[in-house]
Amino acid sequence: MTFKLAASPHSHQRRTTQQVMRWVYMALIPGILTLIYFFGWGVVWQLGLAILTAWAAEAGCMLLRNRPVRFAWRDHTALVTAILLAISIPGLAPWWIIVIGTAFAIIVVKHVYGGVGQNIFNPAMAGYVVLLISFPVQMTSWPLPQQISQFDLGFLDAASVIFTGFTPAGYNLEQLRMGADGLTMATPLDSLRTALNHQLTMSEALQRPIFGDYAGLGWQWVNLAFLLGGLVLLKQRIISWHIPGGFLLGLLVPAAVVWMFAPEQSVSPVMHMLSGATMLGAFFIATDPVTAATSNRGRLYFGLLIGFLVFVIRTWGGYPDGVAFAVLLANMAVPIIDKYTQPVTYGHGEHP
């Protein structure tokens, strides 16, 4: 009898890492197409830059470690990291933003810790947080949904903004983010935070054109599209329900309790569910098998912790969203979660 030793992620369905990652990026397609529809061609350029940077960084690291490059490219882990980071940043962010973030995610977060299966932090979210802390202006300058924007940017127009900072007509990103009223608009979550801090009621805050029926215009459909992709992963048993279920429950319950007592001074549970990176985080980021808890009970607690932290950061933190910070904080808690939730060996009683 022979035993094969391999790094995580492990699957009980005899799927290779390549097959699992292929399902993940295929399930991301509905959300990516919705992002492109609402926020323009910049998303495509960011994806291209991220993928090329990830492949180059992966190849360089593998050569330095005297490992075959083709095997690293074949497992698609770098590809998924690049895609997750690219769709998490503003579509018209300068080109060097995504290059720095992706290189950091692959080189430092993944390979410095030993490569696939050894990293303790989610690479895409670690790269995102480094960018957000280092370049807060560029990382929070989301373009307006195309349906309410004064400018219709084509494929080459988006490239011009990303690589030069200006459209061919001479408009910069700040001008592109102006609404019909001539004011630069923030993202929906940031707009709500600002309005509530200025003592406006929720009803007054929701009058701005960036809001749709249930959440931010465009963002509600982006989240529903990522939810659809996440359900596909659940159906194919690529992921289990424990992490996304815990995530959504950990966010929904405190949001509902606070909203129940102060509906005009707090964000509704539905808006929390359909805003920012909620569904992307629940089904595609938090479920990373390398950095998440290992037992089913541990995964449920892990998801609950992330969801609660997202609510706390959105409500009282310094950033409008909070998924990336919540995931990294929960990654640090994984050893203690695993210690107290690992299954008891048969015949050895309970853990102390």
pTM of the model: 0.90
- Helix H segments across the chain? 17-27, 29-39, 42-64, 69-74, 77-86, 95-103, 123-134, 136-139, 155-164, 173-176, 188-197, 202-205, 219-235, 242-261, 269-273, 278-280, 296-316, 323-341
Residue 352 resides in a domain: no
Model pLDDT, residue 7: 56
Same domain as 58, residue 152: yes
* In-domain check, residue 195: yes
Are 167 and 268 within one domain?
no
Give the pLDDT confidence score for residue 22 in this predicted structure: 92
- pLDDT band for position 292 (cuts 50, 70, 90): very high
Share of the chain above pLDDT 70, in %: 91
Structural domain ending residue among the three candidates 158, 185, 212: 185
Lowest mean pLDDT among 53-67, 68-82, 101-115, 153-167: 68-82
Q: How many domains does the chain have?
A: 2
pLDDT, position 194: 78
Mean per-residue pLDDT over the chain, rounded? 88
Q: Which of 161, 185, 209 is the C-terminal boundary of a domain? A: 185
pLDDT reported for residue 345: 64
Q: Residue range 154-167: average pLDDT? A: 93
Do 83 and 165 fall into the same domain? yes
pLDDT band, very low/low/confident/very high, at 248 (cuts 50, 70, 90): very high
Domain contains 11: no
Structural domain including 260 reads: 187-340
Do 31 and 143 share a domain, yes or no?
A: yes
Q: Which two tokens stand for residue 320?
A: 């409008």
Q: Are residues 100 and 28 in the same domain?
A: yes
**Between these two residues, 164 and 178, which has the higher pLDDT value?**
164
